[in-house]
Amino acid sequence: RAVTAPLLFASRQSVKERARLRLREFDVGDKFSHLPLPKASVLLPLMVRAGKLHLLLTVRSMELRRSPGEVCFPGGKSEATDKDEIDTALREAKEEVGLQPEKVEVICRLVPGIDKMNHLVTPVVGFIEDTFQAIPNPDEVSDVFVVPLEYFVKPLNYKALPYKTSSGYFRQIHCFMYDDHEHKMSFKIWGLTAHFAVFLALVIFGKRPTFEVDYDLDNLISSSEKNFMNLYASLFERKKSNL
């Protein structure tokens, strides 16, 4: 039995190392931080369980005014005391699920998204220990669960929903149903949360998903930035037309 521990450790390290290398290629740093939109950040917490990457997600408390009961990543709006997007994501993860900032190995910031409230939302990717025990803040979070990252390229239960953006153009949004045997519950993961999870999986695995995505998979970096800038530009087109 003594032999397996170092082997497990080695395989865990190599899974992490490969993911780290891929993610660093996609790090946008503060490239989009200057855009004049209100800022928010989410933490995409990765862990290795049984040799595979998993992603930690939360369910928003039913008490919240905005999107109660929806699945999301730990995160929220930037505050004046936050140094940058990374600070925001770590502070929010501590408030929501009791994750101490020093327990997160931050790897990168990925291309941001824009939420329904027109916040610029930056996904911050970090590794956490698989032994992390979440302490959900009941005012904000009703559940915490983990999903194998591979589910976001090879799902068992997926549909694309047509969605009209606030600026009036149609796009597909991803919607996953995930059966969590640990909780004996099904979770619906969709919208911006699903968008970030899919992109993270595409970056790390570098393989084609079993469903359509609106990226050029051979030029994932440039096409993801181009998609984002088109979405951002469409916001301003709308603002102009509303004047």
For 184-206, how does the pLDDT look when each residue is reduced to its tens digit (9 = 90+)?
A: 999 999 999 999 999 999 999 99
Residues ≥6 apart with Cβ < 8 Å to 111: 26, 28, 32, 123, 199, 224, 225, 228
> Tokens 């450790």 sit at which residue?
9
Q: In the chain, what are the domain boundaries?
A: 5-242
* Reported confidence tier of residue 238, pLDDT bands at 50, 70, 90: low
Given a cut of 50, whether residue 53 has pLDDT beyond it is yes
The pLDDT confidence band at residue 234, using thresholds 50, 70 and 90, is confident
pLDDT recorded at residue 1: 47
What is residue 203's three-state secondary structure? Answer: helix
pLDDT tens figures, 202-219 = 999 999 999 999 999 999
pLDDT-based confidence at residue 10 (cuts at 50, 70, 90): low
Q: Which fold has domain 5-242?
A: Nucleoside Triphosphate Pyrophosphohydrolase (3.90.79)
State the Cα–Cα distance between residues 170 and 115, nearest whole angstrom: 15
Question: How many Å apart are CA 72 and CA 141, to the nearest integer?
Answer: 10
